[in-house]
Structure 1
C-alpha cells in the first residue's frame, strides 16, 4: 500500500491519484530506488512509448515519479539523507537532501517519508512493507 499527498499553502492534492502504487527500496550497499505512479494513467493509443501524444505524455509526467541514488545513515544507524543520481524529473539529479528537507519515520510496517520542497510544497508519502 502507498499513499501520497502534496500540500501547498494549506491545500492538499493527490498527484498520483486516490490509490497510488509504487515502491521504495533501500539496499544494504546504501542505494535506494523510489517509484510512484497513478495506475489510472491511460495506455498510449500508438502502443509505442516514444510515440505518445502531447496529452498522453503530459499524463505520464504528471502521474509518475522515479528516482534513485545513494542514501546515508548517522552513527546510530538512522536515515540522514540521500543524493539523487537519476530521476524522471531531471531537475532533481544531483540534489543532496538532508534531514532538513527529507525525513523517514518507521511506524510498525509503515515508512513515512516527508519532503519539504524548496518552493514550499510539503510531500508526505506512506509506504507499507511488502510481505
Structure 2
C-alpha cells in the first residue's frame, strides 16, 4: 500500500472506526437530478473496527413481506423486491485521506459479483457525517450513501 493509504488503522481508525447509521441512500442521475435509491426511509448500519474490518447493510424500508411467510417459498416479484431492496457486504477498508477516497475490499456480498472486488469511492467527512459516492452504474446513476456516527 502507498504510504498515504491507511488500512483504517492509525489515523484512519481514529477518524472512521465506530458505528454509523444510515441517513440517506440516494442516487444522482446523469441529468444531475437526485432521488431516493432505497425508498423514503432507508435503514442501515456500517461498523468499522480499529483493525480496518467493516460490515455494511442497507435496506429499503418499504420491502414487502413474503405472502407465504416462508423464506423458501415466494413469488419471483417477492424475491426481486427482497434482493433489489437490500445491499450488504463485509471485508476490510482502506482510506486515502489525501485523495479523499475509501476502498472497500469486499470479502463477501449480497450481490455475488462484488465478492473479491476492491471498490474505491470518493468520500467526505464533516463532523460525525460520512458521505461517499459509489462508482456509476451502467446506466450512469451514481449512488450516494450518507451515514451519521452513533458511538
Please state which band the TM-score falls in when normalised by the shorter chain. 0.7 to 0.9
Spell out, residue by residue over 1:59-82, the C-alpha distance to the aligned partner (whole angstroms, 9 max, x if none).
Answer: 111111101111113488x76422
> Structure 1 residues 25 and 53, CA, compared in 2 at 3 Å: closer, same or farther?
same
SS of residue paired to 1:51: coil
SS of residue paired to 1:16: coil
| Structure 2 partner of 1:104 | 123
| Structure 1 partner of 2:10 | none
Name which of 136, 139, 144 aligns with 1:117. 136
| Cα distance in 1, alignment partners of residues 83 and 35 from structure 2 | 16
1:14 to partner: Cα distance: 2.1
Spell out, residue by residue over 1:73-125, the C-alpha distance to the aligned partner (whole angstroms, 9 max, x if none).
Answer: 3488x764221111111111111123xxx023211121102112363321111
1:3 and 2:27 equivalent?
no
Q: How does 1:1-131 map to 2 (within 5 A)?
A: 1-10=22-31, 11-74=33-96, 80-98=102-120, 102-117=121-136, 119=138, 120-131=140-151
| Cα distance in 2, alignment partners of residues 111 and 28 from structure 1 | 17
| Cα distance in 1, alignment partners of residues 71 and 114 from structure 2 | 23
Q: Which runs of 5+ in 2 are unaligned?
A: 1-21
- Aligned positions, number: 127
The CA RMSD measured in Å over matched residues stands at: 2.1
